[in-house]
Amino acid sequence: MKTIGKLAQSLNLNVETIRFYEREGLITQPTKPISGYRQYDETIAGQLRFITKAKMLGFTLKEIKSLMSMDNDCAQVELLSRQKLAIIREKISDLQRLEKVIVDMTNTCIQNDDPTYCPIIDSLK
Amino acid sequence: MKTIGKLAQSLNLNVETIRFYEREGLITQPTKPISGYRQYDETIAGQLRFITKAKMLGFTLKEIKSLMSMDNDCAQVELLSRQKLAIIREKISDLQRLEKVIVDMTNTCIQNDDPTYCPIIDSLK
DNA sequence: TTAAACTCCGTACATGAGTACGGAGTCAAT
DNA sequence: ATTGACTCCGTACTCATGTACGGAGTTTAA
């Protein structure tokens, strides 16, 4: 059992972030004692680790909330994961298209000595 | 010469968006007549097209403002483009790593019939 | 016992890129 | 001349994901 500060420290999170997740209903709040500080147990630490990992996979907090509430309904979880995968793949191909445009653009710049003209700027006009 | 509404329509932009770009100093504002509406000329339309294209390439409004002010200093423009390129490439490889993790994860789901256990959820714990 | 450090809670601020609203002025068409 | 549409301007709100602040209560260590 830890106070929020110790918990934050052990998970490398900000106290304010944990409080934010509480407000957002992402984690269960330990009941506040009549007097004193709230105590956080391993369950909550686990929830926070879950959030951190899912965030790294690109899930939004909203989606993470869903994930946590669908608990072990594997089909539903799989669906959400596949949707996320589709979005990620779309983003990748968007970025690859972009990459190509910018590469082409910057290449036109290389051999340019004219100080009054920039082909990149020009291509944006 | 057009009023803001016509201009917005012709560029497929929202009036509010143009006004927002004005506030942000991204485009030059036509001087307001003593009475009546401001008139937008082709120069401003060009600036707005520039912004739209640069946005599609992933430049932020802040960067676009820089781009527009460096005008034709090609070396400077090229530098900014290369920086943007590096960021785009980093994003791509981040997403590709993510893609792989999620693919692996969802694959573990496919053969699972146990309704009380989801390997995706499990891997996030 | 007292001061430092911590917690609680509510609220405000930050970012980026806009969108929405409301009242007042203006223009165009009937 | 009046109505409806448009513009102007300032301000507030949106979304996501937090961070910061301030005052009051609590705990802990010297």
3-class SS of residue B112: coil
Q: What are the residues whose beta carbons fall under 8 Å from the beta carbon of A37, sequence distance 6 or more? A: A3, A4
CA distance A9 to B49: 49
Q: Which residue of B has its CA nearest to A115?
A: B73
Distance from CA of B59 to the nearest CA of A (A): 11
**pLDDT (average), residues A21-28:** 96
For residue B102, pLDDT beyond 80: yes
Provide the 8-state DSSP code for B97.
H
CA distance A54 to B123: 10
pLDDT score at A20? 97
Summarize pLDDT for B42-57 with one digit per residue, the tens.
999 999 999 999 999 8
pLDDT over 70 percentage in chain B: 100
Summarize pLDDT for A43-57 with one digit per residue, the tens.
999 999 999 999 998
pLDDT over 90 percentage in chain B: 58
Q: What are the residues whose beta carbons fall under 8 Å from the beta carbon of B110, sequence distance 6 or more? A: A78
Q: Report the distance from CA of residue A9 to the C1' of nucleotide C3 in Å, as an integer.
A: 24
ipTM score of complex: 0.83
CA distance B16 to A7: 45
| Interface A:B, Cβ pairs < 8 A | 128
